[in-house]
Structure 1
Amino acid sequence: MLFEELQPDLQQWLRSVVNQGYKTEAIVDSLRKAGYESSVSSAVQEDITALRDAREKVAVPSRNPSPWDSGVKTTSDREVQVLMTAQKPNLVLFGNLLSGEECDELIALSQPRLKRSKVVNSQSGQSGQHAMRTSSGAVFRFGEFPLVKRIEQRISELVDIPVSRGEGLQVLNYAPGAEYKPHHDYFDPQYPGSKKYLQRGGQRCATLIIYLNDVEAGGSTVFPSTGVNVYPRKGYGLFFSYADEQGGLDPLSLHGGSPVIAGEKWVATKWMRLRDYVDEKTGA
């Protein structure tokens, strides 16, 4: 059975457990216990081997000395705290990235345009709703509102990536039970569906998640390959990078949004590219 023939959520799960180092026998046993037919469980053994081989061949992005050593990063309009750094995966947790008022205003701006979030089909390149991602989202054009423009500039100064390389700021709302199962934000060049996205600014190289509210329970950002687990706190931001100019991609950037148990979760997400981003709708 070809890996591409599996359901997307099963593909993601297989990537996750392979990256975590689980043995083939344990993975197959878990599939059988989960109710998969023996023929499926046995057939995916070749897929598991292929994933493990691919993981070993991946060129992990080079690690430069951390620019976050001072503990505080000053932009033109704000002092942002550097609360935590890690290199596997390469991530930084910021405090005081947005004020409480900015968080509230961004939520208010997004509410009238919320729609069910979509995921990209790695084979066709088409996007659509899927059970692995059950949030609602709203996307803003570059500088669409003064607040959006200010946040985009602040992000650019903070992570030293030009505004022109960022995709439109996206606000996501997770109701109780909503989640985003583990996934990579980069476009895997092995799959044909990635081609059209890579043409619009090259590979995604980094992600910034900004937490817009405190969540009563659940809703953490989890990196299952490394055990990193970040709980939402209003105004905080989680930045992680995973691609470089040489084509290196970091599989340890596998991450997900755990289910919201109580209350709701609001985040703003900014994806960044290696080159200037071209919006599919506006062409700019």
Structure 2
Amino acid sequence: HDFVLKNLIFVVFSRAFLYKRFLSDEECDHLINLAKGKLEKSRVVIDDDTGASTESEERTSSGMFLSKRQDDIVAKVEARLAAWTFLPEENGEPLQILHYENGQKYEPHLDFYFDQETLKNGGHRFATVLMYLSNVTKGGETVFPMWEGKIHQLKDDSWTECAKQGYAVKPRKGDALLFFSLHLNATTDPTSLHGSCPVIEGEKWSATRWIHVRSFGKRQSGCVDENESCEIWAKEGECEKNPTYMVGSEKDLGFCRKSCKACSA
């Protein structure tokens, strides 16, 4: 924890924290290289009852999930996240690596859930950590439209019009932004609404760690599907496109092994 305290440079404001140089350049480059060649179009949830998702113009990035503790570097990053947030490592989802090209964005959204199906696995997302893996020449800011602090943040022409609509953080390689989606009394916080502004010049790479209120991702034994959309996703080819989530490995079982025919019933 001494490492964390020495490197926490400043607090953005209430319940949101920016950690300068949380990742080294080498760690950033390693995470990007793990994702290259494996990216798929990002999706958004469209059914609050089942958690089913689809591609959308609201979210135009591409991304992929790593496996938990996939290698020594990923394991060290996950352990460091637990030390900084004081939240159990087992409550975190696998790291999601995201890539934004010119003009790509993610409209303002909330990270806590509305669908009961998803809540069964770990409960609400309690906190989010956004780790910036690259510098962006212009754009790509993380913006919080509902935060009261936005009126006190002065912005010059280096900020995009999107970023000027709320409190914003510029993506800087190695920095990590932690914010909470739930209040201390466990009720959902609508002011955690946030988005990724369009990239104007350059490209943006980031890694997201969602942290739940309970342990996340402990797979059931047996040949089962753990999401009602597994059969649909399998028919759409997700078993091959996203094997880490759908099938998994012997050490970290996937969510849709039955529909992917990766096991015997």
Regarding TM over 0.5, the answer is: yes
Give the 3 Å change call, closer, same or farther, for CA 245–238 of structure 1 in structure 2: closer
User: 2:195 corresponds to which residue?
Assistant: 256
- 2: CA distance between counterparts of 1:155 and 1:251? 24
Q: Which residue of 2 aligns with 1:238?
A: 177
Q: Distance in 1 between matches of 2:68 and 2:27?
A: 17
- Name which of 202, 212, 215 aligns with 1:273: 212
Partner of 1:146: 72
CA spacing shift, 1:73–1:249, aligned 2, 3 Å: farther
SS at match of 1:197: helix
The amino acid of 1:236's aligned partner reads D
Give 1:11's aligned residue. Answer: none
Runs of 4+ in structure 1 off by over 6 angstroms are none
Matched AA of 1:74 = F
Name the TM-score, length of structure 1 as normaliser: 0.68
- Read off the aligned partner of 1:91 and give its amino acid letter: A
Report the Cα distance in structure 1 between the residues aligned to 2:106 and 2:35, rounded to whole angstroms: 19
Given the alignment, which residue of 29, 35, 58 partners 1:110? 35
CA–CA separation in structure 1 for the residues paired with 2:179 and 2:2: 16
**So what's the TM-score if we normalise by structure 2?**
0.73
Structure 2 unmatched runs, 5+: 148-165, 220-225, 227-245, 247-252, 256-265
C-alpha distance in structure 2 between counterparts of 1:153 and 1:277, whole Å: 15
Cα distance in 2, alignment partners of residues 140 and 211 from structure 1: 16
Structure 1: segments with no counterpart, 5+ residues:
1-71, 189-193
Distance 1:167 1:118 in 2: 16
Amino acid across the alignment from 1:162 = P
Counterpart residue identity of residue 237, structure 1: A
Contact 2:183 2:189 in 1 (8 A): no
| d(CA) in 2 for partners of 1:223, 1:112 | 31
SS of residue paired to 1:150 = helix
* Residue number in structure 1 paired with 2:122: 201
Q: Structure 2 CA distance, aligned partners of 1:155 and 1:203?
A: 18
Instruction: Give per-residue Cα distances to partners, 1:169-222, cap 9 Å, x unaligned.
Output: 01100000000000001113xxxxx11110000111000000011101100000
Q: Percent identity among equivalent residues?
A: 38
Q: Kindly provide the CA deviation profile for residues 116-141 of structure 1, in whole angstroms up to 9, marking residues without a partner as x.
A: 11111143420111110000101011
- Structure showing greater radius of gyration is 1
* Cα-to-partner distance string for 1:34-57 (whole Å, 9 max, x where unaligned): xxxxxxxxxxxxxxxxxxxxxxxx
1:212 aligned residue: 133
Cα displacement (A) at 1:245: 7.1
CA RMSD of aligned residues (A): 1.9
CA contact (8 A) 1:245 1:274 kept: no
Show the 5 A alignment for 1:1-284. 74-75=3-4, 79-87=6-14, 90-123=15-48, 124-188=50-114, 194-226=115-147, 227-244=166-183, 246-278=185-217, 280=226, 281=246, 282=253
Count of residues paired in the alignment: 204
Q: Deviation per CA, 1:13-69, whole angstroms, max 9, x where unpaired?
A: xxxxxxxxxxxxxxxxxxxxxxxxxxxxxxxxxxxxxxxxxxxxxxxxxxxxxxxxx
Task: Report how far residue 145 of structure 1 moved.
Answer: 1.5
Q: Compare the two structures and name the one with the higher helix fraction.
A: 1
The question of whether the paired residues in 1 share the 8 Å contact of 2:47 and 2:53 is answered with: no
Contact kept in structure 1, 2:110 and 2:181, CA below 8 Å:
no
- Supply the distance in 1 between the matched residues of 2:75 and 2:254 (Cα, whole angstroms): 19
2-structure distance, mates of 1:274, 1:160: 12
